Structure 1
Amino acid sequence: MTSKRAKQPEGIVPLAGRPKGAGARWGSVEFQLKRHDSPHGQVTALSMMKDEGAYVIEWVAHHLAVGFSDLVVYTNDCSDCTDDMLIRLEELGLCHHRRNVIPEGIRPQPSALNYAQEEPVVQQSDWVMVFDADEFLSIRYGDGTLDSLIAATKARGANGIVVTWRIFGSGGVVDWSHAPVTEQYLWAAPQEWNKGWGVKTLFTFSADKWKLGIHRPKMKTKWHETAFPDEVKWLNGSGREMEDYFKFRGWRSITRTVGYDWVQLNHYAVKSVDSYAIRKMRGNVNNKADKYNSDYWSLQDRNEVRDDTMLRYTKQRNEIIVQLLQDPVLNRLHHAAIARVEGHLAELRQTEAYHQLVADLAKASDVPISQIVAKPPQARDKEKIAALMSDVEKRRGAKAKMERHAVPKEPIEAVPMGSYRSGRIDLSQDVTAEIYPNHSMKLPSDRRVFTDSALALIQSGKFERGLARRMPQVLAEQAKVLEIGSAVGFLAGHCANIRPDLSLYLQEDNPVLRQMLAVVCALSNRTFNDSFVVMEQGLGSDPVVGALALIAALHPDALLLSDSQLGTEVLQKLLPMLPAPVPKQIFLYGRLLEQHHARLPEIDDVLATLGYVPDYGFDANIARGFRRCAPPDPEDPS
């Protein structure tokens, strides 16, 4: 495909706030709502849409609220008013609409990206990110805007951030509604579900160096053997530096690179049953045959964990929507699009195909996440991939591999992976689970309970290896140990087996994990006795009160905290209230660390005021250990 770069029309006088490369239509109608003036220059969201008229207003309003200065949207063959709405938004100075004239043999998305490569607005942008119409950026960092996210990225010397998908399901919603997508659907796949780890990339764009791509840009070959690859520094969604290989290829996060602490990309691929029916009978942007079938629904309709982070944008997004709909043209087009969807849906509901689809999707929704199979279109051919790799990729890849192997590491347990399934665990359906020895315990490879990453470790005998190796070594002699959040009892059981001098008291609020605790101990011949006790007392409605009651009853020498209910706010209240004599050792790990690790450094200061210092040499992704020293003397002027 060939395309000529569009020229800035002659005679156009640049206006204040006018984006670089804007066409003659941009801002030709005076409007109260103005383009965001980003401190980071021209920050552009690039997307492709087809018949998205009912959703355009929310998508635009959300990404204006997030802080994009420019939105460039390509459309092709729209049968609703999607293109007309985007044209009006361009006239109002809030978007750039472009036609995607698709050459024969080219799919719509690649076609649009080829045009975008030559588009003046995109070429003159400082930061670019490619979106689909069902993707919404969700920023946890700072004030939730791109202004703060990009500032943090720059502060780390980086020029890009790789944002991982979070798959959001229907949440049980059947009927179509014009309510905001980001408010209707608040249930998602667990963060550790690696089948949902596709990425999109926000990066500093140079048309000379990068070829735009759906998931990430491709570095042009002529730059591979130069110093440019060393200038590329991309972070993951938790602000950690991406591995070197991702500068050249890859479209998914892996265990070593996934992260959600700073930012994620909410992917609303299915929405309600009605929305799915409409899309299935309309086609899709990539012309994939039979994409919207029941298997796709099972894969994308994930509702295991509630995530309402998006609600932070509600007020500002709604204010923008109100302003947008004050334009009479946009208002008319928006409500015409909604009426068209509702009319089309009324027709669909009269067909047998619609009712059969609803029945099929209901069955597909019942498929447990542990039974979802997401196979790639074709098997991964390592030899073919190696043949396509440039010499510089091979050299850098071999160097990175040698560096990883040179430093002994524990098996991958890094946050936010976790060992246990998020949300409600259902044991009602029987499964066949093989038993594997892990250290001094035995564990079932039960997919209902353990995450995929944990199952791989269980099957190799390396489950929670960092904890299992280190904890028995560091607990004090003859210590009375209280573990709040024992899960299936693996760590406590192993410590009891290795250290018979210890007295261990296990507490777990989750009834399913308590049930599995009994199973694991029975499999491992770990008997309950006076020195290995499962506490009946729970944390109750107030985890501070519940935890203090447990601690006051036992006065443990070592306090092991793993329950995710003991978040940062809870610990800030709980720790200063510890009854005397206070524990000599405190450890934070497990589900507590997985869910709250981003803010746990705040607890260091709290513990320091109580006379605790970091100790014991755990990897920070596995555990945080603290030893009690003599408390500071308030009368000592030094």
Structure 2
Amino acid sequence: MMKDEAPFLLEWYAHHLAVGFTKILVYTNDCSDGTDDMLIRLEELGLGYHRRNDIPEGVKPQPSAMKYAQAEPKVAEADWILMFDADEFLCINYGDGTLDPMLDAAGDANGIVITWRIFGSGNVVDWSRDPVTEQYLYAAPPTWNKGWGVKTLFKFDPDKWKIGIHRPSIKNKHLETGFPDTVNWLNGSGQPMEDYFKFRGWRSIRRTVGYQWAQMNHYAVKSVDSYAIRKFRGNVNNKKDKYNADYWSLQDRNEVYDDKILRYTERRKQIMDELLTDPVLSRLHYAAIEKVEARLEEYRATDAYAELKQSLLEASEVPITQIVAKPPKARDPEEIAKLMSQVEKNVADRPAEERRSVPEAAFADVAEGGDGFVPGDIDVSVQTAVDWVPNHDIALPADVRIFAQSTLELVMRGKYQRRMARMTGRMVEDGQKVLDLGAGIGFLSIHAAQTVSGATVLAQEDNSSRLAIMRDVLDHNALELGDRLSMINAPVICDNDAETLARVNQMIADHQPDVLRISYEELGGKLLSRVTLGPVTRVVLFGPAVAAFHAQRSKVKDPSLSPDQDQSMPEFVIIEPKQAAHAT
């Protein structure tokens, strides 16, 4: 559905031809900038179809267009369909970036649920004719759950499916048949979607989100000037004053750099250049750009533009952790139960372990074996507004690029590793040496060095970006702990167990710690009994190491150290994921 998208139309059209779509159908209403004329010409050139969205009184443009599309023969003829908007650009990360290899890989699946990536202004203010996909390369982090709306690429049967904005819905007459069992949808990483999504929902959740195969780049704001242009034309659902500063702060997310879509640049440019060889299309395209530029020039001279610009620049400074999307609608289990078909109730009544999938590592919770951090190298080089929240008198960055969502919520409430921090005085005694293996961003290391008299802490972390964040935490808090705290980026975890064990043993021999804290999963399991602990009098396991410890313990009758090790048994303290601590 489009209205007054002429300045951006050819790039959007050429991009999706480059992606591999063979036909594009667009519904327009009340266009004043030539968008409809351009689409009519594209249809004359055999590149797609245009339809008028004649809107009945009292009906919004978007539902009206979907009703027409439901009955449209060209839609029914399609192998696969995807419904999306002019500010959404499909980016396929699988294979060569085109549709066919991804659909081949999908096998017998008949749907792929593609999650948004929210792209912001990139601090661009002025209007430019440069392509959208080249101007705006900064986005919200993949883990930001407020940006997890979806669009669904699926095989369409008008008898069985009703087209929807984010996903189609099964028609009621087929709910109590065997048809729902034939629905086999994958997520954006090519993994099976959970069964509940056959029936309801329009957003990914932690267990289903994924971007390894595809993402939907959503350019809802673009530059300040482009946003002003967008305000001129209204929106597809006639929402009053939708494009205000609040909407801008929600959509203007620029925390991470993402240039995956540049893989299409050359092919998209070739197609667009070819389209512009048509004199009619070229004339309409440049006339639309000149018209909107003239209108924008007039608007820039007004107080209203100055006020809008200032309000948007201020809105850009709102940290991502303070963003409120839409007030959540209270869940009414009884009302939902009334709407459920019997087949949906049957799905919902199955045991949780049968109907729930395991989230990808990037979206895992601590309770699901994660360590609370976004996995891999963390890039926080982009300057963006971030809240620093005191946690045990140490201000930590409430940054979604660093922390997994559930952990971030604890940081924002000042409760990050709170129980473990309170236990520091019992875990570390005056004058003791501590070796933290897998210190993360060093919160517990800093806390111990700061609060335990005479204690010295060596914080080790394989991930160098987390140690860089630890240095930022020290700088932000103006903490100079001298020789009480040191950091080491010498990695200990290797593909080879023997090498890992050798590195750990050497580190213990070199530093002679009294307390050994371990978060690495690899060291919480079978390797733990083979570590030469030497002077260590207390071993503290937390994070992923705990699950590995319990898994290994369940396999053997005696989880104690091997009898050939000539050393006294240290105290073991296990910090459970739910922060209940006990000693064994």
Equivalent residue for 2:94, pick from 141, 146, 149 = 141
Kept after mapping to 1: 8 A contact 2:26/2:50: yes
Equivalent residue for 1:310, pick from 261, 273, 298 = 261
Equivalent residue for 1:352, pick from 300, 303, 307 = 303
1:400/1:238 CA distance change after superposition, 3 Å? farther
1:464/1:327 CA distance change after superposition, 3 Å? farther
- Distance, in Å, in 1 between the alignment partners of 2:85 and 2:493 is 44
Q: 1:598 is matched with which residue? A: none
Amino acid at match of 1:54: P
- State whether structure 2 residue 137 is matched by structure 1 residue 192: no
1:485/1:144 CA distance change after superposition, 3 Å? farther
Q: 1:514 is matched with which residue? A: 471
- Distance, in Å, in 1 between the alignment partners of 2:203 and 2:259 is 24
* Farther off after superposition, 394-403 or 453-462: 453-462
Equivalent residue for 2:72, pick from 78, 98, 119 = 119
How far residue 584 of structure 1 moved from its aligned partner, in angstroms, is 8.7
- State whether structure 2 residue 390 is matched by structure 1 residue 433: yes
Q: 2:36 is matched with which residue? A: 83
- State whether structure 2 residue 445 is matched by structure 1 residue 488: no
Secondary structure, aligned partner of 2:153: strand
How far residue 228 of structure 1 moved from its aligned partner, in angstroms, is 1.4
Q: 1:167 is matched with which residue? A: 118
Equivalent residue for 1:274, pick from 217, 225, 232 = 225
Kept after mapping to 2: 8 A contact 1:62/1:136: yes
- Distance, in Å, in 2 between the alignment partners of 1:443 and 1:321 is 53
Secondary structure, aligned partner of 1:318: helix
Q: How does 1:569-588 map to 2 (within 5 A)?
A: none
How far residue 318 of structure 1 moved from its aligned partner, in angstroms, is 0.4
Secondary structure, aligned partner of 1:103: coil
TM-score of the superposed pair, with normalisation by structure 2: 0.73
How far residue 417 of structure 1 moved from its aligned partner, in angstroms, is 7.4
Amino acid at match of 1:194: N
1:253/1:443 CA distance change after superposition, 3 Å? farther
Secondary structure, aligned partner of 1:374: coil
1:405/1:129 CA distance change after superposition, 3 Å? closer
Q: How does 1:604-615 map to 2 (within 5 A)?
A: none
Q: 2:15 is matched with which residue? A: 62
- Distance, in Å, in 2 between the alignment partners of 1:284 and 1:108 is 9
How far residue 425 of structure 1 moved from its aligned partner, in angstroms, is 8.1
Secondary structure, aligned partner of 2:133: helix
Equivalent residue for 1:418, pick from 374, 389, 407 = 374
Secondary structure, aligned partner of 1:331: helix
Kept after mapping to 2: 8 A contact 1:137/1:266: yes
1:424/1:103 CA distance change after superposition, 3 Å? same
* Farther off after superposition, 508-517 or 142-151: 508-517
How far residue 152 of structure 1 moved from its aligned partner, in angstroms, is 1.1
Q: What CA RMSD, in Å, does the superposition of the two structures yield over aligned residues? A: 4.1
Equivalent residue for 1:183, pick from 127, 130, 134 = 134
Secondary structure, aligned partner of 1:132: coil
1:402/1:412 CA distance change after superposition, 3 Å? closer
How far residue 194 of structure 1 moved from its aligned partner, in angstroms, is 0.7
How far residue 452 of structure 1 moved from its aligned partner, in angstroms, is 3.5
Kept after mapping to 1: 8 A contact 2:255/2:383: no
- Distance, in Å, in 2 between the alignment partners of 1:240 and 1:443 is 40
How far residue 199 of structure 1 moved from its aligned partner, in angstroms, is 0.3
Identity over aligned pairs, percent: 54
Q: 1:559 is matched with which residue? A: 492
Equivalent residue for 1:328, pick from 279, 283, 289 = 279
Amino acid at match of 1:302: R
**1:30-89 CA deviation, whole Å, 9 max, x = no partner?**
xxxxxxxxxxxxxxxxxx110101111001100000001111111111111111111111
How far residue 149 of structure 1 moved from its aligned partner, in angstroms, is 1.1
- Distance, in Å, in 2 between the alignment partners of 1:250 and 1:134 is 22
Q: 2:565 is matched with which residue? A: none
TM-score of the superposed pair, with normalisation by structure 1: 0.67
Secondary structure, aligned partner of 2:201: coil
**1:95-145 CA deviation, whole Å, 9 max, x = no partner?**
111111111111111110100011111011111100111000001111111
Q: 1:105 is matched with which residue? A: 58
Kept after mapping to 2: 8 A contact 1:49/1:74: yes
- State whether structure 2 residue 330 is matched by structure 1 residue 397: no
Q: 1:49 is matched with which residue? A: 2
1:108/1:194 CA distance change after superposition, 3 Å? same
**1:543-593 CA deviation, whole Å, 9 max, x = no partner?**
xxxxxxx65xxxxxx7148xxxxxxxxx9xxx9xx999777999xx99xxx
How far residue 443 of structure 1 moved from its aligned partner, in angstroms, is 8.4
- Distance, in Å, in 2 between the alignment partners of 1:225 and 1:49 is 36
Kept after mapping to 2: 8 A contact 1:259/1:416: no
Amino acid at match of 2:154: F
- Distance, in Å, in 2 between the alignment partners of 1:324 and 1:484 is 55
Equivalent residue for 1:319, pick from 242, 246, 270 = 270
Q: 1:218 is matched with which residue? A: 169
* Farther off after superposition, 442-451 or 48-57: 442-451
Kept after mapping to 1: 8 A contact 2:114/2:150: yes
Amino acid at match of 2:442: V
1:324/1:519 CA distance change after superposition, 3 Å? closer
Amino acid at match of 2:471: R
Amino acid at match of 1:140: N
- Distance, in Å, in 2 between the alignment partners of 1:413 and 1:580 is 22
Kept after mapping to 1: 8 A contact 2:221/2:248: yes
Mark the runs of 5 or more structure 2 residues left unpaired by the alignment.
359-364, 420-433, 508-518, 521-544, 549-584
Q: 1:439 is matched with which residue? A: none
- State whether structure 2 residue 87 is matched by structure 1 residue 130: no
How far residue 433 of structure 1 moved from its aligned partner, in angstroms, is 3.5
Amino acid at match of 2:35: T
How far residue 229 of structure 1 moved from its aligned partner, in angstroms, is 1.2
Amino acid at match of 1:423: V
How far residue 395 of structure 1 moved from its aligned partner, in angstroms, is 1.8
Secondary structure, aligned partner of 1:353: helix
Q: 2:188 is matched with which residue? A: 237
Amino acid at match of 1:212: I
1:427/1:54 CA distance change after superposition, 3 Å? closer
Q: 2:523 is matched with which residue? A: none
Mark the runs of 5 or more structure 1 residues left unpaired by the alignment.
1-47, 436-441, 466-479, 536-549, 552-557, 562-570, 591-615, 620-638
Kept after mapping to 2: 8 A contact 1:492/1:506: no
1:443/1:128 CA distance change after superposition, 3 Å? farther
Amino acid at match of 1:135: E
Amino acid at match of 1:213: G
How far residue 386 of structure 1 moved from its aligned partner, in angstroms, is 2.6
- Distance, in Å, in 1 between the alignment partners of 2:356 and 2:118 is 33
Q: 2:25 is matched with which residue? A: 72
